[in-house]
Amino acid sequence: MIIGVLREAQTGETRVAATPATVVQLLKLGYEVVVETGAGDASSFADEAYVEAGASIGDPFDADIVLGVNQPAAQQLDQLRQNATLIGILNARLDESVVADLTSRPITALSMDAVPRISRAQSLDVLSSMANIAGYRAVVEAAHVFGRFFTGQVTAAGKVPPAQVLVAGAGVAGLAAIGAAGSMGAVVKATDPRPEVADQVASLGGSYLSVESADVEVSATGYAKEMSDDYNTRAAALYAQTVPDIDIVITTALIPGRPAPTLLTAEMVASMKAGSVIVDMAAGSGGNVEGSVAGQVVETANGVTIIGYTDLAGRLPAQASQLYGTNLVNLLKLMTPEKDGMLVLDFDDVVQRSITVVRDGESTWPPPPVQVSAAPAAAPVEAKEEVVKKERKPLTPTAKLGAVLGAGLLLVLLVAASPAVLQGQLVIFALSIIIGYYVITGVHHALHTPLMSVTNAISGIIVVGALLQIGHDGTLITILAAAAILLASINIFGGFAVTRRMLAMFTRS
């Protein structure tokens, strides 16, 4: 089968559905690839580069499979051959007219923005790929407008404080923004209605600002849900208290299929310092910031710049095209099980079913819901929690005392029954267990790995003891000593290797 790569008709679109690198991968699947003239020019991919990769330059509308970024224009759809398969970001979830238009044509249409958020579909998730780029680019755009350093500095001319950055929404775009701003030296804070992202924010060096509300719960879909009035009131109070001290705010809150929620009101924006910057990544869906304009930069009366660009991912066209093209390759790998260049649409596969908008001219939209959360049903969870609570029920003081006395009695009996030579060693062994227990349990959990890497190296004591046993009478003793030397040596070298790797994490190249 032939794959055709379209030149995007949408004004301002810089991405392309295939790059020379992804063309090579498509050819390995058994397909022929035809690229429309100038399709990759805006992404800095010349026609010659596609030819060198093995594609041909020609008419993509005669292809069996047509790849695009956005929904093709009406005149482009009219040129598609009968029974062709169109793959792109069709936005069927947001625009019902798209489904009606596609259904009127004898084609099959797959919408990449409808990929379910399940583990095995992550490599196809275009929304995550583009959100990752957009989050990074949002920080770059803010830095371009912001009039100071992001990182704090102490210079001969004076001290420069680090920029204070607030990221509203810690999804893929938000986490990318947190990582980018943190790597530039800013002090980053983040909010999100999903409490499970707190650890992710912390892992990137940010501080998680929680909104205490009963409406906060673990997400079952991978997306943030529409929150209650109580939560919104508490969140508004948090923003009103926080934003006056913030230099840069990046908002990413979006709910699939619904207008973006308003997070920052005009009063909050007015409370910010002159020179502050807001990047409203949801401007194209109504905006998270009152006063933002889709596709434009607005400066308020108090000197705050509000950036409402809707093409943040497209502002890194080469990178965005490569990631999007890779998402398409992964989809075609899934749909080409024999790698023979023949596309197979399997409706038993939840991923393929979810992205299919039209099949052979018949509407299949909307798809059946997909359970993306691994969490069990409510009743089993409660039962499980009860079991866990019973298992973790702390011992009573009487039970603890009984356990200690029992262990002590067992040790006394063991010592009494042991030879005189062994009695002293047993006492030392028991004391070392007690001391080791209190030393290890008193260490913070974050230090367990470096601690163990060092203590493993102390296995040299075992090596010395085993060396002293080699050469004594008895083949069994020699074999046991040799095994002890081998295992302890592995522990020693492994301990130092782990220690070295951990120290290297804190070394700047």
Quote the CA–CA distance of 263 and 276 in Å, as a whole number.
Answer: 17
CATH superfamily of 2-114+336-363: NAD(P)-binding Rossmann-like Domain (3.40.50.720)
- The CA R_g of the chain, rounded to the nearest whole Å, is 31
Q: Which residue is catalytic, options 44, 56, 104, 122?
A: 122
Q: For the chain, give every domain's residue range.
A: 2-114+336-363, 131-315, 397-505
Q: Which residue is catalytic, options 62, 79, 223, 469?
A: 223
Q: Which residue is catalytic, options 117, 213, 315, 349?
A: 117
125 is a catalytic site residue: yes
| Interval 450-491: pLDDT, tens | 666 666 666 777 888 888 888 776 788 888 888 888 988 888
| Interval 438-454: pLDDT, tens | 766 776 665 666 666 66
Predicted pLDDT of residue 211: 84
| Interval 97-155: pLDDT, tens | 889 999 999 999 999 999 998 888 999 999 999 999 999 999 999 999 998 999 988 88
- The third-level CATH classification (topology) of the domain covering 131-315 is Rossmann fold (3.40.50)
Q: Which residue is catalytic, options 71, 128, 352, 459?
A: 128
117 is a catalytic site residue: yes
Core vs surface per residue 338-376: b (16+ CB within 10 A) or e: eeebebeeeeeebbbbbbbbbbeeebbbebeebebeeee
Q: Which are the contacts of 105, defined by CB distance < 8 A and separation ≥ 6?
A: 77, 80, 358, 361
Q: Contact 85/359 with Cβ under 8 angstroms?
A: no
Quote the CA–CA distance of 89 and 28 in Å, as a whole number.
Answer: 24
Query: pTM score, two decimals?
Result: 0.71
Query: What integer best gives the mean pLDDT of the chain?
Result: 87
Residue of 259, 263, 303 whose CA lies nearest to 167: 263
Predicted pLDDT of residue 386: 47
128 is a catalytic site residue: yes
Joined tokens for residue 238:
């948090």
pLDDT band at 19 (very low <50, low <70, confident <90, very high): very high
Q: What percent of the chain has pLDDT over 90?
A: 60
Q: Which residue is catalytic, options 7, 125, 129, 354?
A: 125
